[in-house]
Amino acid sequence: MAEETGTESAGFDIPRILEALPHRYPMLLVDRVRELVKGERIHAVKAVTFNEGFFQGHFPGRPIMPGVLQIEALAQAAGILGVESLDLAGTGKLVYFMAIEGAKFRAPVEPGCLLELEVAFTQQRARVCKFEGKASVDGKVTCETQFTAMIA
C-alpha cells in the first residue's frame, strides 16, 4: 500500500496499480509508481525484460521496444495519475486516449533497461485531461509527447 503524505503518494506496487488500471499482462506496462502528486504529476517505472513478447519480432538480432509501446506506458502512467487524482479507483471509470501530439523518439529502449516514466497534467477538466510525458533510461530521454485522454 502507498504511504500517504498530503497529496503525495509513494511506493505503489503491482496490486495498487491493478486497482487503478484495467490493463493486465501482456498489456500492463507500468511496474511501479515511485511518486504521485495528485492533480500534478507521476513518476512510474517499467522494467523492460527480454521476455517481452514484442522483442521476438522487433527486431531479431537487435531487440528494441517499439516507440508506440513507450507512449502506451506513458499513457498508462497518466491513467493512474488521473484515476488517483480524481479518486476513481474501483468505480469502473476508464481513461481513454483521444490524441497524441508531437511524439518524438530520441533513443532506443533495449532489454534490461529500467524505463522511467514521467507524466504531468497540462490541463485538467471534468472529463478531458491533457498531459505531457517523457520516458527515459539512465537519464537519457527516449521518448516525449503530449497527449489527451477522456475519462468515461
Active-site residue list: 58
Distance CA 63, CA 57 (A): 8
